[in-house]
Structure 1
Amino acid sequence: MTATIFRPATPTRLTCLAVAAPLWTTVSLAQAAGREGFDLTRHPLSALSNGSLGWLQIANFVIAGMLTVFGATGLRQALPGRWAPRLVLVNGIGMVAAGIFSMDPADGFPSGTPAGMPHTMSWHSYGHMAAGGIAFLALIAACYVLGRHFARTGNRRDAIISSLAGTALLLGDAWAMTGGEAGSLTLAVGVILAMLWVSVVAARLR
């Protein structure tokens, strides 16, 4: 395996990026397990932004997104290429926007919400979908760009992991968009895997 030589990086910024995904994942899954009426096979993690405790998930999106934005500047110093840091930056901005623009209550969550999807969506729900879509696409692309980088440096293992992480999110998002069974669960798995892999890369670069 060929060793990769990186330029000096800002450890604090890379630490922010390394922390972002574990923080978002822990807070999201803890709420998914503990909030009444939430079913991960039916409700996306973004739905946790609704209800009396919705502020927790809103803050989770905004804080993790800001950590990602700040961490992307450290990634730019650590990697020889430019596209991966740029894509991670866009992903972070998308996360912040997804927190600011929350999705509408739907399909029985929060408790008392009618079953099924609402007939119309609010402007902030459209904003959330747009922000989420941009964040997902940027994260998928970032994983593939990182995979290409690792492949060029001879790190075949990390190249494969990067590609698998991006593919997991791509397929999970596509399945959820087509209304596949338990689509919100497959999307959550894909998002978490891709985010955690970027955090792993940042932690190693420290």
Structure 2
Amino acid sequence: MTAAPHPTAARAASAARTAATRPGTRPLLLSAAVAGPLWSALSLAQALGREGFDLTRHPLSALSNGDLGWLQIANFVVAGLLTVAGAVGLRRALAGTPGGVWTPRLVAAYGVGMVAAGVFVMEPADGFPVGTPAGMPAALGWTSFAHMAAGSLSFAALIAACYVLARHFARTGDRTRAALSVAAGTALLLGDGWAMTGGALGSLTLAAGAITAMLWVSAVAVRLLRTL
């Protein structure tokens, strides 16, 4: 005798079928699927290839400085716009399910924060780009504060999105993905918190946490694509 499907899971499947009938849903979800891996790959490639950059000391945002800084600026803006577009796909695919309202809102806020973090660039600091004096500048300009505010918005929204996704998966009976959602959000929460305290290797823990959470949102988008 076949067990009856979880009622919330059945609603999720119904939402996916409805989303599939709307034009543009697949490209929108694909945008969310691509955004995390794109930003992560380009950031890490630059971290390995840019002279003077040290991920144990410099945040990935610092790559927006120097002759090749335009590449990281574009990386932030493009990945952020893809994320905002992807949030529309998530809204369609998750409609009527637990977390179906707040997950896309939070993902959209995370994407807007990324765009803003690309527009407002941190000042050169701590020896990067090459030739910059060691340590932090005596005073930070307004663009650095704007960048930090944008980053705080983006990270807070991304952490919350992961926890809301955990609720979604728990309610649909997918305990494994619920646990992975919690793990992804917590990785960013702890990584960012450690960096904010000035802890050793803070930029590295922040990068690891951010990339983990970003890739998880992309993985969820891939899963939803497969249900369409």
Shared fold (TM-score, shorter chain, > 0.5): yes
Could you tell me which of 71, 77, 102 is aligned with 1:62? Answer: 77
In structure 1, the partner of 2:34 is 19
Amino acid at match of 1:36: E
Residue 202 of structure 1 pairs with residue 221 of structure 2: yes
1:119 Cα deviation after fit: 1.2
In structure 2, the partner of 1:38 is 53
Gaps of 5+ in 2: 20-24
SS, match of residue 51 in structure 1: coil
Residue 148 of structure 1 pairs with residue 148 of structure 2: no
Distance 1:126 1:152 in 2: 39
Following TM superposition, the consecutive aligned residue runs of length 4 or more in structure 1 with deviations greater than 6 angstroms are: none
Distance 1:145 1:119 in 2: 40
Gaps of 5+ in 1: none
1:130-180 per-residue CA deviation (whole Å, 9 max, x = no partner) reads 000000000000000000110011100000000000000000000000000
Residue 109 of structure 1 pairs with residue 128 of structure 2: yes
- Over the aligned positions, Cα root-mean-square deviation in angstroms equals 1.0
Amino acid at match of 2:41: T
Distance 2:141 2:66 in 1: 16
In structure 1, the partner of 2:22 is none
Distance 2:40 2:74 in 1: 13
Distance 1:148 1:119 in 2: 44
Distance 1:29 1:70 in 2: 24
Aligned residue pairs, count: 206
1:85-143 per-residue CA deviation (whole Å, 9 max, x = no partner) reads 00000000000000000101000000000000111111111100000000000000000
1:53 Cα deviation after fit: 0.2
In structure 1, the partner of 2:157 is 138
Distance 1:83 1:113 in 2: 42
1:198 Cα deviation after fit: 0.2
1:36-73 per-residue CA deviation (whole Å, 9 max, x = no partner) reads 00000000000000000000000000000000000100
Q: Percent identity at matched positions?
A: 69
Amino acid at match of 2:83: T
Amino acid at match of 1:184: S
Given the two structures, how large is their TM-score scaled by the length of structure 2? 0.89
Amino acid at match of 1:60: N
Distance 1:50 1:70 in 2: 27
Distance 1:139 1:24 in 2: 14
Amino acid at match of 1:94: G
